[in-house]
Structure 1
Protein backbone atom coordinates (compact mmCIF):
# COMPACT_ATOMS: atom_id res chain seq x y z
CA UNK A 1 0.00 0.00 0.00
CA UNK A 2 1.14 3.53 -0.83
CA UNK A 3 0.37 6.69 1.12
CA UNK A 4 -0.27 9.92 -0.77
CA UNK A 5 -0.35 13.17 1.18
CA UNK A 6 -2.43 15.68 -0.74
CA UNK A 7 -1.77 19.15 0.67
CA UNK A 8 -3.21 22.55 -0.11
CA UNK A 9 -0.52 25.26 -0.32
CA UNK A 10 0.05 27.40 2.75
CA UNK A 11 -1.06 31.03 3.26
CA UNK A 12 0.08 33.39 0.48
CA UNK A 13 0.82 37.09 0.67
CA UNK A 14 -2.43 39.04 0.37
CA UNK A 15 -3.21 42.37 -1.23
CA UNK A 16 -0.17 42.67 -3.44
CA UNK A 17 -0.02 43.23 -7.18
CA UNK A 18 1.74 39.98 -8.08
CA UNK A 19 -0.36 37.49 -10.08
CA UNK A 20 1.70 34.69 -8.50
CA UNK A 21 2.26 35.58 -4.83
CA UNK A 22 4.58 33.62 -2.60
CA UNK A 23 3.97 32.64 1.00
CA UNK A 24 3.45 35.17 3.76
CA UNK A 25 5.43 34.95 7.00
CA UNK A 26 2.43 33.22 8.57
CA UNK A 27 2.26 30.86 5.62
CA UNK A 28 5.91 29.88 6.01
CA UNK A 29 5.36 29.24 9.73
CA UNK A 30 2.24 27.18 9.15
CA UNK A 31 3.82 24.97 6.47
CA UNK A 32 6.92 24.42 8.60
CA UNK A 33 4.71 23.38 11.52
CA UNK A 34 2.74 20.93 9.35
CA UNK A 35 5.92 19.26 8.14
CA UNK A 36 6.97 18.50 11.71
CA UNK A 37 4.29 15.83 11.77
CA UNK A 38 5.54 12.25 11.62
CA UNK A 39 3.43 11.53 8.54
CA UNK A 40 5.78 13.60 6.40
CA UNK A 41 8.95 11.85 7.57
CA UNK A 42 8.18 8.87 5.35
CA UNK A 43 7.81 10.97 2.18
CA UNK A 44 10.38 10.22 -0.52
CA UNK A 45 8.83 11.99 -3.52
CA UNK A 46 7.42 15.53 -3.74
CA UNK A 47 5.48 16.96 -6.68
CA UNK A 48 3.98 20.46 -6.75
CA UNK A 49 1.95 22.91 -8.72
CA UNK A 50 4.32 25.47 -10.27
CA UNK A 51 2.49 28.34 -8.54
CA UNK A 52 4.93 30.07 -6.20
CA UNK A 53 2.75 29.62 -3.10
CA UNK A 54 2.58 25.86 -3.75
CA UNK A 55 6.24 25.51 -4.71
CA UNK A 56 7.45 27.36 -1.62
CA UNK A 57 5.22 25.17 0.54
CA UNK A 58 6.63 21.99 -0.99
CA UNK A 59 10.24 23.16 -0.71
CA UNK A 60 9.93 23.56 3.05
CA UNK A 61 9.93 19.77 3.43
CA UNK A 62 13.57 19.84 2.34
CA UNK A 63 13.37 17.30 -0.51
CA UNK A 64 13.77 17.83 -4.28
CA UNK A 65 10.50 19.09 -5.78
CA UNK A 66 9.19 18.29 -9.25
CA UNK A 67 6.91 20.97 -10.67
CA UNK A 68 4.00 19.85 -12.83
CA UNK A 69 1.41 22.11 -14.50
CA UNK A 70 -1.21 19.36 -14.19
CA UNK A 71 -1.33 20.18 -10.46
CA UNK A 72 -2.10 23.86 -11.07
CA UNK A 73 -5.24 25.56 -9.81
CA UNK A 74 -8.35 25.48 -11.95
CA UNK A 75 -8.54 28.27 -14.51
CA UNK A 76 -11.73 30.15 -13.65
CA UNK A 77 -11.85 32.04 -16.97
CA UNK A 78 -14.09 35.07 -17.40
CA UNK A 79 -16.04 35.54 -14.16
CA UNK A 80 -17.75 38.76 -15.20
CA UNK A 81 -21.17 38.94 -13.53
CA UNK A 82 -20.60 35.81 -11.44
CA UNK A 83 -21.67 35.58 -7.80
CA UNK A 84 -21.38 32.88 -5.15
CA UNK A 85 -23.72 30.64 -7.14
CA UNK A 86 -20.85 30.05 -9.60
CA UNK A 87 -18.75 28.56 -6.84
CA UNK A 88 -21.54 26.14 -5.94
CA UNK A 89 -22.45 25.26 -9.52
CA UNK A 90 -18.93 24.12 -10.39
CA UNK A 91 -19.25 21.39 -7.76
CA UNK A 92 -22.75 20.34 -8.77
CA UNK A 93 -22.12 20.30 -12.53
CA UNK A 94 -18.67 18.89 -13.34
CA UNK A 95 -18.93 20.11 -16.96
CA UNK A 96 -19.79 23.73 -16.12
CA UNK A 97 -17.15 26.31 -16.95
CA UNK A 98 -16.78 29.98 -17.77
CA UNK A 99 -15.47 31.20 -21.11
CA UNK A 100 -11.72 30.47 -21.25
CA UNK A 101 -12.01 28.48 -18.04
CA UNK A 102 -11.82 24.83 -17.01
CA UNK A 103 -14.56 22.55 -15.75
CA UNK A 104 -14.08 20.41 -12.68
CA UNK A 105 -14.12 17.34 -14.93
CA UNK A 106 -11.20 18.71 -16.93
CA UNK A 107 -9.24 19.60 -13.81
CA UNK A 108 -9.95 16.21 -12.27
CA UNK A 109 -8.68 14.46 -15.41
CA UNK A 110 -5.34 16.26 -15.45
CA UNK A 111 -4.89 15.88 -11.68
CA UNK A 112 -5.56 12.14 -11.96
CA UNK A 113 -3.21 11.80 -14.93
CA UNK A 114 -0.42 13.43 -12.92
CA UNK A 115 -1.09 11.50 -9.72
CA UNK A 116 -1.26 8.18 -11.59
CA UNK A 117 2.13 8.91 -13.15
CA UNK A 118 3.52 9.73 -9.72
CA UNK A 119 2.11 6.56 -8.14
CA UNK A 120 3.40 4.39 -10.99
CA UNK A 121 6.91 5.80 -10.50
CA UNK A 122 6.90 5.39 -6.72
CA UNK A 123 8.84 2.40 -5.37
CA UNK A 124 6.79 -0.07 -3.35
CA UNK A 125 6.34 0.97 0.26
CA UNK A 126 7.38 4.58 -0.29
CA UNK A 127 5.12 7.61 0.15
CA UNK A 128 4.61 10.84 -1.75
CA UNK A 129 3.52 14.43 -1.18
CA UNK A 130 1.54 16.46 -3.71
CA UNK A 131 1.08 20.20 -3.08
CA UNK A 132 -1.75 21.76 -5.06
CA UNK A 133 -4.80 24.00 -4.63
CA UNK A 134 -8.23 23.74 -3.00
CA UNK A 135 -10.44 23.46 -6.08
CA UNK A 136 -7.97 21.23 -7.90
CA UNK A 137 -7.72 18.87 -4.92
CA UNK A 138 -11.49 18.77 -4.49
CA UNK A 139 -11.99 18.02 -8.19
CA UNK A 140 -9.67 15.03 -7.83
CA UNK A 141 -11.39 13.85 -4.64
CA UNK A 142 -14.73 13.87 -6.45
CA UNK A 143 -13.53 10.73 -8.23
CA UNK A 144 -13.88 8.85 -4.91
CA UNK A 145 -15.75 11.16 -2.54
CA UNK A 146 -18.97 13.10 -2.32
CA UNK A 147 -18.19 16.81 -2.24
CA UNK A 148 -21.09 19.08 -1.31
CA UNK A 149 -21.24 22.86 -0.98
CA UNK A 150 -22.90 23.78 2.31
CA UNK A 151 -22.40 27.55 2.07
CA UNK A 152 -21.26 29.06 -1.23
CA UNK A 153 -20.76 32.58 0.14
CA UNK A 154 -18.41 31.29 2.88
CA UNK A 155 -16.87 28.58 0.65
CA UNK A 156 -17.83 25.78 3.01
CA UNK A 157 -17.75 22.17 1.85
CA UNK A 158 -18.66 18.75 3.18
CA UNK A 159 -16.50 15.92 1.88
CA UNK A 160 -17.54 12.33 2.56
CA UNK A 161 -15.72 9.07 1.79
CA UNK A 162 -17.55 5.76 2.17
CA UNK A 163 -20.07 7.34 4.51
CA UNK A 164 -17.50 9.05 6.73
CA UNK A 165 -17.35 12.84 6.83
CA UNK A 166 -13.78 13.91 6.21
CA UNK A 167 -14.28 17.66 6.14
CA UNK A 168 -17.26 19.83 7.07
CA UNK A 169 -16.42 23.52 6.74
CA UNK A 170 -13.41 25.44 5.44
CA UNK A 171 -10.59 23.80 3.54
CA UNK A 172 -7.84 25.92 5.08
CA UNK A 173 -4.40 26.62 3.66
CA UNK A 174 -1.83 23.93 4.58
CA UNK A 175 -4.59 21.44 5.36
CA UNK A 176 -5.01 18.29 3.33
CA UNK A 177 -5.82 14.64 2.99
CA UNK A 178 -3.95 11.39 3.56
CA UNK A 179 -4.86 8.72 1.00
CA UNK A 180 -3.89 5.08 1.48
CA UNK A 181 -3.86 3.71 -2.04
CA UNK A 182 -3.97 0.32 -3.71
CA UNK A 183 -4.12 -0.05 -7.49
CA UNK A 184 -4.42 3.71 -7.96
CA UNK A 185 -7.53 3.94 -5.77
CA UNK A 186 -7.80 4.97 -2.12
CA UNK A 187 -8.96 2.31 0.31
CA UNK A 188 -8.80 4.76 3.22
CA UNK A 189 -8.77 8.55 3.41
CA UNK A 190 -8.39 10.74 6.45
CA UNK A 191 -7.61 14.39 7.00
CA UNK A 192 -5.28 16.39 9.11
CA UNK A 193 -6.23 19.80 10.45
CA UNK A 194 -4.01 22.52 11.73
CA UNK A 195 -5.16 24.78 14.53
CA UNK A 196 -3.53 27.75 16.16
CA UNK A 197 -4.01 27.92 19.95
CA UNK A 198 -2.59 30.89 21.78
CA UNK A 199 0.09 31.33 19.13
CA UNK A 200 1.24 27.71 19.19
CA UNK A 201 0.73 25.38 16.23
CA UNK A 202 -0.95 22.09 17.03
CA UNK A 203 -1.46 19.32 14.49
CA UNK A 204 -4.53 17.15 14.98
CA UNK A 205 -5.57 14.04 13.09
Structure 2
Protein backbone atom coordinates (compact mmCIF):
# COMPACT_ATOMS: atom_id res chain seq x y z
CA UNK A 1 0.00 0.00 0.00
CA UNK A 2 1.19 3.50 -0.82
CA UNK A 3 0.89 6.49 1.49
CA UNK A 4 0.43 10.03 0.24
CA UNK A 5 1.33 12.71 2.76
CA UNK A 6 -0.61 15.87 1.96
CA UNK A 7 0.82 18.86 3.83
CA UNK A 8 -0.08 22.52 4.01
CA UNK A 9 3.01 24.76 3.71
CA UNK A 10 4.55 26.06 6.92
CA UNK A 11 4.27 29.59 8.35
CA UNK A 12 5.25 32.33 5.87
CA UNK A 13 6.71 35.75 6.57
CA UNK A 14 3.89 38.16 7.39
CA UNK A 15 3.49 41.84 6.75
CA UNK A 16 6.04 42.21 3.97
CA UNK A 17 5.39 43.49 0.49
CA UNK A 18 6.28 40.26 -1.34
CA UNK A 19 3.42 38.63 -3.23
CA UNK A 20 5.20 35.29 -2.70
CA UNK A 21 6.68 35.28 0.80
CA UNK A 22 9.08 32.62 1.97
CA UNK A 23 9.00 30.94 5.36
CA UNK A 24 9.44 32.89 8.56
CA UNK A 25 11.93 31.75 11.20
CA UNK A 26 8.97 30.25 13.06
CA UNK A 27 7.87 28.55 9.84
CA UNK A 28 11.28 26.98 9.35
CA UNK A 29 11.22 25.65 12.93
CA UNK A 30 7.65 24.39 12.62
CA UNK A 31 8.35 22.48 9.40
CA UNK A 32 11.56 20.99 10.80
CA UNK A 33 9.62 19.80 13.85
CA UNK A 34 6.81 18.30 11.75
CA UNK A 35 9.33 16.44 9.59
CA UNK A 36 10.52 14.60 12.72
CA UNK A 37 7.26 12.62 12.56
CA UNK A 38 7.91 8.97 11.63
CA UNK A 39 5.48 9.25 8.70
CA UNK A 40 8.07 11.29 6.77
CA UNK A 41 10.86 8.72 7.15
CA UNK A 42 9.39 6.58 4.38
CA UNK A 43 8.90 9.37 1.82
CA UNK A 44 10.83 8.82 -1.41
CA UNK A 45 9.17 11.38 -3.71
CA UNK A 46 8.34 15.04 -2.99
CA UNK A 47 6.20 17.35 -5.10
CA UNK A 48 5.36 20.95 -4.22
CA UNK A 49 3.45 24.00 -5.26
CA UNK A 50 5.91 26.47 -6.81
CA UNK A 51 5.05 29.15 -4.23
CA UNK A 52 8.10 29.99 -2.16
CA UNK A 53 6.48 29.09 1.18
CA UNK A 54 5.48 25.64 -0.10
CA UNK A 55 8.75 25.00 -1.89
CA UNK A 56 10.84 25.97 1.16
CA UNK A 57 8.67 23.72 3.32
CA UNK A 58 9.18 20.76 0.96
CA UNK A 59 12.94 21.34 0.67
CA UNK A 60 13.36 21.02 4.44
CA UNK A 61 12.74 17.28 4.12
CA UNK A 62 16.10 17.07 2.35
CA UNK A 63 14.98 15.27 -0.80
CA UNK A 64 14.77 16.47 -4.38
CA UNK A 65 11.54 18.44 -4.95
CA UNK A 66 9.50 18.59 -8.15
CA UNK A 67 7.49 21.80 -8.52
CA UNK A 68 4.09 21.61 -10.17
CA UNK A 69 1.73 24.54 -10.76
CA UNK A 70 -1.27 22.21 -10.38
CA UNK A 71 -0.50 22.19 -6.64
CA UNK A 72 -0.76 25.99 -6.34
CA UNK A 73 -3.30 27.70 -4.13
CA UNK A 74 -6.74 28.44 -5.48
CA UNK A 75 -6.91 31.70 -7.40
CA UNK A 76 -9.49 33.75 -5.51
CA UNK A 77 -9.98 36.28 -8.32
CA UNK A 78 -11.75 39.55 -7.59
CA UNK A 79 -12.87 39.44 -3.94
CA UNK A 80 -14.26 42.97 -3.90
CA UNK A 81 -17.20 43.07 -1.52
CA UNK A 82 -16.62 39.57 -0.13
CA UNK A 83 -16.88 38.78 3.58
CA UNK A 84 -16.65 35.58 5.66
CA UNK A 85 -19.61 34.16 3.76
CA UNK A 86 -17.33 33.84 0.70
CA UNK A 87 -15.04 31.51 2.64
CA UNK A 88 -17.98 29.36 3.71
CA UNK A 89 -19.63 29.35 0.28
CA UNK A 90 -16.50 28.11 -1.50
CA UNK A 91 -16.60 24.98 0.70
CA UNK A 92 -20.33 24.39 0.29
CA UNK A 93 -20.72 25.14 -3.42
CA UNK A 94 -17.94 23.45 -5.40
CA UNK A 95 -18.77 25.55 -8.49
CA UNK A 96 -18.74 28.96 -6.77
CA UNK A 97 -16.02 31.32 -7.89
CA UNK A 98 -15.27 35.02 -8.14
CA UNK A 99 -14.59 36.75 -11.45
CA UNK A 100 -11.14 35.63 -12.65
CA UNK A 101 -11.00 33.03 -9.86
CA UNK A 102 -11.23 29.26 -9.57
CA UNK A 103 -13.94 27.11 -8.03
CA UNK A 104 -13.13 24.33 -5.58
CA UNK A 105 -14.19 21.86 -8.30
CA UNK A 106 -11.60 23.29 -10.71
CA UNK A 107 -8.87 23.23 -8.06
CA UNK A 108 -9.81 19.68 -7.05
CA UNK A 109 -9.56 18.54 -10.67
CA UNK A 110 -6.07 19.96 -11.19
CA UNK A 111 -4.90 18.66 -7.81
CA UNK A 112 -6.26 15.19 -8.65
CA UNK A 113 -4.60 15.32 -12.07
CA UNK A 114 -1.26 16.05 -10.45
CA UNK A 115 -1.65 13.54 -7.63
CA UNK A 116 -2.70 10.77 -10.04
CA UNK A 117 0.40 11.46 -12.14
CA UNK A 118 2.53 11.34 -8.99
CA UNK A 119 0.93 8.08 -7.81
CA UNK A 120 1.37 6.50 -11.26
CA UNK A 121 5.10 7.29 -11.12
CA UNK A 122 5.55 6.01 -7.57
CA UNK A 123 6.80 2.43 -7.18
CA UNK A 124 4.44 0.23 -5.16
CA UNK A 125 5.07 0.43 -1.44
CA UNK A 126 6.85 3.77 -1.60
CA UNK A 127 5.42 6.97 -0.15
CA UNK A 128 5.17 10.52 -1.42
CA UNK A 129 4.83 14.00 0.04
CA UNK A 130 2.79 16.77 -1.58
CA UNK A 131 3.14 20.30 -0.16
CA UNK A 132 0.35 22.63 -1.14
CA UNK A 133 -2.07 25.17 0.39
CA UNK A 134 -5.13 25.10 2.65
CA UNK A 135 -7.88 25.67 0.07
CA UNK A 136 -6.16 23.41 -2.48
CA UNK A 137 -5.77 20.58 0.04
CA UNK A 138 -9.37 20.94 1.25
CA UNK A 139 -10.72 20.99 -2.31
CA UNK A 140 -8.87 17.74 -3.03
CA UNK A 141 -10.00 16.13 0.24
CA UNK A 142 -13.62 16.88 -0.65
CA UNK A 143 -13.34 14.05 -3.19
CA UNK A 144 -13.23 11.57 -0.29
CA UNK A 145 -14.11 13.48 2.86
CA UNK A 146 -16.83 15.70 4.19
CA UNK A 147 -15.52 19.22 4.77
CA UNK A 148 -18.00 21.32 6.74
CA UNK A 149 -17.52 24.93 7.79
CA UNK A 150 -18.24 25.28 11.50
CA UNK A 151 -17.34 28.99 11.88
CA UNK A 152 -16.71 31.04 8.74
CA UNK A 153 -15.53 34.16 10.58
CA UNK A 154 -12.73 32.20 12.29
CA UNK A 155 -12.13 29.85 9.32
CA UNK A 156 -12.95 26.73 11.32
CA UNK A 157 -13.91 23.49 9.62
CA UNK A 158 -14.59 19.87 10.41
CA UNK A 159 -13.13 17.26 8.09
CA UNK A 160 -14.39 13.69 8.39
CA UNK A 161 -13.54 10.50 6.52
CA UNK A 162 -15.97 7.57 6.73
CA UNK A 163 -17.53 9.11 9.83
CA UNK A 164 -14.22 9.67 11.65
CA UNK A 165 -13.31 13.25 12.53
CA UNK A 166 -9.85 14.08 11.17
CA UNK A 167 -9.79 17.80 11.91
CA UNK A 168 -12.15 19.97 13.93
CA UNK A 169 -11.00 23.59 14.00
CA UNK A 170 -8.18 25.42 12.27
CA UNK A 171 -6.15 23.89 9.47
CA UNK A 172 -2.84 25.37 10.58
CA UNK A 173 0.34 25.82 8.60
CA UNK A 174 2.36 22.58 8.40
CA UNK A 175 -0.71 20.50 9.30
CA UNK A 176 -1.49 17.62 7.04
CA UNK A 177 -2.93 14.23 6.33
CA UNK A 178 -1.67 10.76 5.48
CA UNK A 179 -3.78 9.07 2.83
CA UNK A 180 -3.27 5.31 2.53
CA UNK A 181 -3.94 4.70 -1.15
CA UNK A 182 -5.14 1.68 -3.11
CA UNK A 183 -6.12 2.07 -6.77
CA UNK A 184 -5.79 5.86 -6.56
CA UNK A 185 -8.32 6.07 -3.71
CA UNK A 186 -7.72 6.42 0.01
CA UNK A 187 -8.75 3.49 2.13
CA UNK A 188 -7.64 5.24 5.31
CA UNK A 189 -6.89 8.86 6.12
CA UNK A 190 -5.33 10.14 9.32
CA UNK A 191 -3.75 13.39 10.43
CA UNK A 192 0.00 13.85 10.60
TM-score, normalization: structure 2?
0.98
d(CA) in 2 for partners of 1:83, 1:152: 9
d(CA) in 2 for partners of 1:37, 1:173: 15
Cα deviation, residue 121, structure 1: 0.2
Q: Deviations over 1:12-67 (max 9, x none)?
A: 00000000000000000000011111110100000000000000000000000000
Cα deviation, residue 122, structure 1: 0.1
d(CA) in 2 for partners of 1:181, 1:100: 34
d(CA) in 2 for partners of 1:87, 1:112: 22
d(CA) in 1 for partners of 2:29, 2:93: 36
- Figure out how many residues of one structure are paired with residues of the other and give that number: 191
Q: Which sections of structure 1, spanning at least 5 residues, go unmatched? A: 190-203
Q: 1:18 is matched with which residue?
A: 18
C-alpha RMSD over aligned residues: 0.8
d(CA) in 2 for partners of 1:33, 1:176: 13
Moved segments of 4+, more than 6 Å = none
TM-score, normalization: structure 1?
0.92
Q: Deviations over 1:177-203 (max 9, x none)?
A: 0000000000000xxxxxxxxxxxxxx
Cα deviation, residue 144, structure 1: 0.3
Q: The residue matched to 2:158 in structure 1 has which SS?
A: strand
Q: The residue matched to 1:167 in structure 2 has which SS?
A: strand
